[in-house]
Amino acid sequence: MKKINFLVSFLLLFVIGFLCYPSFFETLISIVDLHQVELASTAISSRFKTQLVFAIILSGITPIYYIIQKLTKINFWFDGVYVLIFIIIFGGLTSILRAVYIFQELELLSRVKFNEGVKMSYHIDSFNFEYYLLLGFVIGAIICFGLLRIKQKRKD
Average pLDDT, 10 consecutive residues per value, the chain (156 residues): 84 94 88 74 78 92 88 78 89 93 84 72 80 93 89 78
Q: pTM of this prediction?
A: 0.84
- Angstrom CA distances, 74 to 47, 67, 150, stand at 38, 11, 13
| pLDDT of res. 135 | 94
Strand partners, 121: 38
| pLDDT of res. 115 | 72
Strand partners, 123: 40
CB contact at 8 A, 133 and 61: no
| pLDDT of res. 129 | 87
Residues 6 or more apart whose CB falls under 8 angstroms from that of 37 comprise: 106, 109, 110, 120, 121, 122
- What kind and span of H or E run contains 81? helix 81-111
CA 97 to chain centre: 11
